[in-house]
Structure 1
Amino acid sequence: MGDEDFPVQARALNHWFGRGEARKQALYDINLRIARGSLTVLVGPSGSGKTTLLTLLGCLREVQQGSVVLLGHELHGATPALATALRRRLGFIFQAHNLHESLTAAQNVMMGVQVLGRVDKAQAQAAAAHVLGLLGLSERLDYLPANLSGGQKQRVAIARALVGTPSWCWPTNPPPRWTATAAPMWWSCSSDWGRRAAPPRSWSPTTTASWTAPTAS
């Protein structure tokens, strides 16, 4: 397979935190290639650099040394405009959910398509409602995060990451630590995407609307 078959690549990747005597190396000479259509899991103890690596691969940190190629673009020395454009093609599921407390569940999920550019509000609302419904939250669309359980917040975060049909999706918290409801939903959606040779590069409301309720495999 050629490089085009590996949308995520890292070569001789090193990363440090801190300055002076407090400077500490977090990643050492990382080399990896992730094949298109694959489901890849990073495992290791707390503090081993898993989240640091994911944030570098996902344009959430600047590459200090080495090479990261994401969807055909080199990230070492990438301009802010390129990094922003690439982030809009990714879906992120954060360890702490990172939901906006002033927005409802539906509004939080709508942001997953609104960041893509000019999107019709009614279409974004319909897409958010559909995906939240698939995740069992049809009756929680208008709830603020403060009124949702931890598991429900997890599912809102999953919906926000998936609703824009991203080219790649990054969960920064291991799925086995999610609730019994959230984990099967995530694995099923990921398995479905893994069978796609090339995920869509632009969002379409018809793509989201075609999704059906996932089940645990």
Structure 2
Amino acid sequence: MQPFTTVSGPGVVLARDNIDTDQLIPARFMKRTRAEGYGDQLLYDLRFDEDGDPVEGFPLNQMSERPVLMLAGRNFGCGSSREAAVYALVDHGIRVVVADSFADIFRGNAGKNGLLTIALGAAERGRLAKFLEPRPGENAPAEVFVDLDAQEISAEGLGTIAFDIDKGLKRRLLLGLDDLSETLEDEPTIAAFEERYFAAAPWVVPRGA
């Protein structure tokens, strides 16, 4: 998993509540392998019409470059537990999702795949949304910086927005650890335990093993 330290780039506002996992990655695309990627299928049925043409005015379709941050409303990632919903966001280039709240399973899947989820109150989300909204006459989208170590979102003209995060999750993201790689940090201790255990109870090992 790619370590998360500081990321910067444009952000996009998706001013909706209850964005569910079937919207994030429609089920028909889940036949794809992980290696093929899911980025182009992110929010497909909202981004494109029945003929496959981009929906005019949809926020992602108005971006001149892919965002690193998505700002949404309440209960982001609700619905089924499909991990591919996180894959779609990450493969599209999004490293941070800011929302009022997240579905528990989605938030767990996000942390295991290097996607930072930040819960903010209405006032802070309002500040961020106002900053990120496209400005008439400006070609480049507004750029934000997310510093996980300092636990801050910042930008020129925005100031700083602090956020909270579980200490264990923060450490895993900073080091790029998933559940397996975090467990393997204790590999010497695990190996020493196994050696002592099998020495004390050799009968648990099948013959010829």
What is the TM-score of this pair, normalised by structure 2? 0.29
Instruction: Pick 1 or 2: higher relative contact order, CA cutoff 8 A, min separation 6.
Output: 2
Computing the radius of gyration from Cα coordinates, the structure with the larger value is 2
